[in-house]
Chains A and B, each alone.
Chain A
Amino acid sequence: MAPAGPAALTVEDLTVAYGDKPAVWDMDLAIPAGVLAAVVGPNGAGKSTLLKAALGLIRPVAGRVRFFGEPLHRVRPRVAYVPQRASVDWDFPATALDVALMGTYGRLGWFRRPGSAEIQTARAALDRVGLAALEARQIGELSGGQQQRVFLARALVQKADLYLMDEPFQGVDAVTEEAIVGVLRELRSAGKTAIVVHHDLATVTDYFDWIALLNVKLIAAGPIGNTFTPERLQAAYGRVPLLS
Chain B
Amino acid sequence: MAPLELTLTAVLTACALAVPGVFLLLRRQTLLGDALGHVVLPGIAAGALLAGSVRSPWVVLGATASGVLAVTIVEWLERQRLVRSDAALGLVYPALFAVGVILITRAPRGLHLDADAVLLGELHLAPLRRLTWGAVDVPWSLAVMSLLFVVNLAFVLLAYKELAITTFDPDHARGQGVPPGPIHYALMTLVALTIVAAFDAAGPVLVVAFLAAPAATAHLLTNRLNWLLVYAVAVAGLGATLGVELAMRCNLNMSGAVAGMVGTLFAAAVLFAPRYGLVAQEVRRWRLRKEFERGLLAVHLAHHEGTEAAEEECRADRLGEHLAWPETKVTRVLQSAMRAGLVTADGALVRLTGSGRDLARRLVG
Contacts and interface: CB of A to CB of B under 8 A. Distances in A.
Interface in A67-108: 73, 76-77, 79-81, 83, 87-89, 92-95, 98-99, 102-103, 105-106, 108
A113 B160 contact: yes
A94 B168 contact: yes
Contacts of A93: 26, 219, 222-225, 227-228
Contacts of A57: 171, 174-175
A87 B162 contact: no
A154 interface: yes
Contacts, number: 83
Interface residues of B, number: 28
Given A92-B26, A93-B228, A105-B165, A154 B172 contact: yes
Interface in A139-154: 140, 154
Contacts of A87: 169, 171
Given A55-B175, A81-B175, A92-B26, A108 B168 contact: no
A113 B176 contact: no
A92 B22 CA distance: 11
Contact of A94 (B158, B159, B173, B225): B225
Interface string B167-186: 11101111111100000000
A114 interface: yes
Nearest to A137: B223
B164 interface: yes
A89 B177 CA distance: 21
Given A56-B174, A93-B228, A114-B161, A102 B169 contact: yes
A87 B169 CA distance: 8
Interface residues of A, number: 35
Nearest to B229: A93
Contacts of B178: 105-106
Contacts of A19: 81
Contacts of B225: 92-94, 98
Interface in B125-178: 158-162, 164-165, 167-169, 171-178
29 contacts: A19-B81, A52-B171, A57-B171, A57-B175, A81-B175, A83-B169, A83-B172, A87-B171, A88-B168, A89-B28, A89-B168, A92-B167, A92-B168, A93-B225, A93-B228, A94-B224, A98-B224, A102-B164, A102-B168, A102-B169, A105-B165, A106-B176, A106-B177, A106-B178, A111-B159, A113-B160, A113-B161, A138-B223, A140-B223
